[in-house]
Structure 1
Amino acid sequence: MKVARRCGLVIDSRTLRRTEVEATCPFCGDHAGKHHLGLNTTKDLYRCVLCGATGNSVTLYAKLNNMSNYEAYRELEQESNVYQMPVAPTPQYTERQPMPLEERHAVYTDMLSHLTLLDQHRDNLLGRGLSDTRIQENGYCSMPETPEARRLLAHLLGRKHDLLGIPGFYTQNNVWTLAGPNGFLIPVRNKDGLIQGVKIRLDDDSHPNRKYRWLSSRNKENGTRSYSWVHVTGNTQSKRAFITEGPLKGDAASFLSADSLFVCIGGVNALNGLKDTLVGLGVTDVVEAMDTDQMTNPHVRQAILAMRKEVQKIRGIKYSKYTWNPTYKGVDDYLLSRVAEA
């Protein structure tokens, strides 16, 4: 925490007694009051759930002071008690809100029609238990891998759509292009099947806890932020809905359970829109199906408890918890094991 204060991070004082202290991220243009940067005081690590920035106290100090890790280490070693005044980070560009849902859906639908799915990504999806037919129906596609391909895609879309206000698109030297790491795209849909936003399953596995990222062009020229939209998959006429984390997990679990209705949040702390989604679906039975790491991770457990309380406030909702063999972390893994045993 001494290093965080020396760096002038805006810290959420309510989390100071926790192992995971929350702060405003200085790297991605995070707002004051949002606190997306997690500071693990036991492991001396930081991670932003929005931009994926990771490191330890030395690398944090080095990046924010434009110096080498060695220089940062030597300076911190002196244990100076002179701290910067906390200042909320200022985005390089004006914060732009996404265009209305219908316009985002039109652009993303057109975008996916221009893309294909690489064999490695298809194998990943098949390994989760999805069929070729369901893979096609869900609209998974691979990100264009080269800058040239991304500019071409943006050019083709820009002939029919206004890309200003569409998360993921931005201009570089006055030319539209697409942001984001390589991987495959997961459309995130509402209860009517409209694409609200897109998540990327990253090819880079060097950070196991950061495999997914929203398609966003936040803090880029003419770019647009993405929200953590709630994904709905399966039979929307069902009165029973399962809640889990992650659209791909929900897609697989729904397919493996005969199209059960799954409502998928973007993360354990991403509850915006969850209540409205459940009410809009008209469900009367909600079943919690969150990952089993809540048993060992107090931060995750606390977030799930907060989610549980939020859902239980909805009138007319019966709430229960789905349990399975904890050998399988996610509900999709467990359901896949049952199919394999059948």
Structure 2
Amino acid sequence: MNPAELDLRPAGGGECRANCPHCGDRRRHLYVNRERRLWHCFRCGRAGRLIETALSAPIMRSLSGPADKGKPRPLPPEALDRAYRAMLARLVLSGHHRAHLIDARDFSSDLVEHGLYRSLPASSDLLREDAGRAAAQAVGQGQASRVPGLALRRGGWTVVGPPGLLVPVRDEAGRICGLQVRLDNPKAGGSRYLWLSSRRQGGAGAAARLHWACPAGSGLDGTLWITEGPLKADYAAWRLGVSVIAVPGVTTCMHQVLQAVAERPRRYVVVAFDADLQTNPQVRACALGLVGELELRGLDVSVADWPLDSGKGLDDLLRSGGRPAVLAPFAWRVRLKEDCAMLKIVGWAKVAAPPESQTVARDGRDPMPVFRAILEVAPAPGARGKAPRLPAVAFYQRAEKCAGTGLQEGDTVFVSGSLTTVRQRDASGSGWTEVPGVMLEELAHVRVPDVGGEDGDDGMPF
């Protein structure tokens, strides 16, 4: 695939978005890190490193060049913040948009004022020209072309873009680095939100960014929630009293999320994507990928879960008076009925309950007799990645393969397998119930280690 087919676009944070040659994606879900030459598609999950070959040389050259050749690059965050605040100070919030925020979205008057939401009027409105002049004066006439959303018309600077509700997008320092427009009249089947940009007018384009909603007293080093959309994040931060970051969409800015979380100390991260991940395979894949990446980075991560009929977004749920269930990643995967074959368990385990015979069914297969034990699992020293510690999960093995193992309660074993769910006979013996487990394919994956070492230290984590 050549650079034209990849359709490389700037994504902010030193990254580009592109079409994926593996899954045939044409909506640029593949992200490329310019400096590290790493790529990852958030649609199909493939990832790797760009290698300098004759085939990839044109792509490497296009990455080394400017993101938008011949067009001005956006100003630094400090300057954009000055320009956008001057622009918003000259605009007003229409009665229609204020009613939407307060009545439909349950925003308080104080939240509306603090959020600096404004209305972008019809293109012929003089307010656009007044706001454009103010923004240009804030950064200087020579730098105004580097403010996404400003363009020269009839010898003066004006604000371009379709009419709608302007939503400020802030960075972690509270600086307004971009503006989203919630369109008054979106096209059928099109997006409701657009970034304020003047790319088509020869000015600076807008890059997709994270939005940080940090209410007073929440702090930037404590609990952090991750959700979709700036308006949802602002409302959730206000209602929950925690810091919330928002991605423009589940397939956008994921590398920025991972970088932001990795570079700052976080005690606790909660992923709260829209509940339609229960029915949308693409959203589900992105959520599973993000949670898995956060786990591999050793973070204390949980997932906010709620029924789809209680509201699509986190803000819908909170408006109705509900609260999400905050689940451990494994419990969330079980609730989604994910096979979880991509999540491997490799580590030492203590047998916490006596082994017993059991009959289970898995993946629509016929019921089979198995050997079942309850294990307390800890990550193995030196294991690739970081397997999550699980307080108690069931280990299943075909009964005929377990004869003569001598496994007993209190033994320490080494396990290697995949997290999964199985259907197990209930206490009455007349029905089935779904339970989490670690399904191992071969008996050789389990062994009882020799107890030894100096001073009775066997090197085990228990």
Tell me the TM-score normalised to structure 2 length: 0.53
Give 1:13-52 correspondences, 5 Å limit: 13-16=21-24, 21-22=25-26
Say if 1:239 and 1:157 are closer, same or farther in 2 by CA, change over 3 A. closer
Q: Deviations over 1:261-316 (max 9, x none)?
A: 2111111111242123224552221111001111222222222233223333434x
* Alignment match, 1:193: 174
Q: Tell me which amino acid in the other structure corresponds to 1:216.
A: S
Alignment check: 8 A CA contact 1:93 1:219 kept: no
* Alignment match, 2:117: 140
* Alignment match, 2:199: 218
Residue 117 of structure 1: CA displacement? 0.5
Percent identity, aligned pairs only, is: 28
- C-alpha distance in 2 between matches for 1:112 and 1:301: 37
* Alignment match, 1:180: 161
Is 1:104 aligned to 2:75, yes or no?
A: no
317-326 or 298-307: bigger deviation: 298-307
* Alignment match, 2:106: 129
Residue 208 of structure 1: CA displacement? 6.1
Residue 107 of structure 1: CA displacement? 0.6
Say if 1:102 and 1:96 are closer, same or farther in 2 by CA, change over 3 A. same
Alignment check: 8 A CA contact 2:118 2:167 kept: yes
* Alignment match, 2:129: 151
Q: Deviations over 1:150-189 (max 9, x none)?
A: 2232123323323121111122455322221111111111
Q: Deviations over 1:55-76 (max 9, x none)?
A: xxxxxxxxxxxxxxxxxxxxxx
* Alignment match, 1:167: 148
Alignment check: 8 A CA contact 2:73 2:146 kept: yes
SS in 2 for 1:196: strand
Residue 102 of structure 1: CA displacement? 0.2
Larger Rg: 2
Say if 1:172 and 1:204 are closer, same or farther in 2 by CA, change over 3 A. same
Q: Tell me which amino acid in the other structure corresponds to 2:79.
A: E
Is 1:321 aligned to 2:320, yes or no?
A: no
Q: Tell me which amino acid in the other structure corresponds to 1:22.
A: R
Alignment check: 8 A CA contact 1:241 1:260 kept: yes
* Alignment match, 2:283: 300
Q: Tell me which amino acid in the other structure corresponds to 1:14.
A: H
Alignment check: 8 A CA contact 2:84 2:135 kept: no
Q: Aligned pairs, how many?
A: 268
* Alignment match, 2:423: none
Q: Tell me which amino acid in the other structure corresponds to 1:296.
A: T
Say if 1:250 and 1:209 are closer, same or farther in 2 by CA, change over 3 A. farther
Q: Tell me which amino acid in the other structure corresponds to 1:265.
A: V
Q: Tell me which amino acid in the other structure corresponds to 2:213.
A: T
Give 1:227-238 correspondences, 5 Å limit: 227-234=207-214, 235-237=218-220
Structure with greater strand share of residues: 2
- C-alpha distance in 2 between matches for 1:225 and 1:160: 19
Is 1:203 aligned to 2:207, yes or no?
A: no
Alignment check: 8 A CA contact 1:15 1:22 kept: no
Residue 192 of structure 1: CA displacement? 1.6
Say if 1:107 and 1:304 are closer, same or farther in 2 by CA, change over 3 A. same
- C-alpha distance in 2 between matches for 1:304 and 1:114: 39
Alignment check: 8 A CA contact 2:6 2:20 kept: no
Residue 336 of structure 1: CA displacement? 0.5
Say if 1:236 and 1:207 are closer, same or farther in 2 by CA, change over 3 A. farther
- C-alpha distance in 1 between matches for 2:293 and 2:198: 31
* Alignment match, 1:118: 94
SS in 2 for 1:273: helix
* Alignment match, 1:277: 260
Which of residues 237, 247, 267 in structure 2 aligns to 1:265?
A: 247
Is 1:243 aligned to 2:226, yes or no?
A: yes
Say if 1:171 and 1:306 are closer, same or farther in 2 by CA, change over 3 A. farther
- C-alpha distance in 1 between matches for 2:322 and 2:113: 21
Q: Deviations over 1:29-54 (max 9, x none)?
A: xxxxx9x9x9xxxxxxxxxxxxxxxx
Structure with greater helix share of residues: 1
Alignment check: 8 A CA contact 2:82 2:135 kept: no
* Alignment match, 2:272: 289
SS in 2 for 1:301: helix
SS in 2 for 1:159: helix
Residue 200 of structure 1: CA displacement? 1.1
Alignment check: 8 A CA contact 1:95 1:219 kept: no
- C-alpha distance in 2 between matches for 1:299 and 1:256: 29
Tell me the TM-score normalised to structure 1 length: 0.70
Residue 236 of structure 1: CA displacement? 2.8
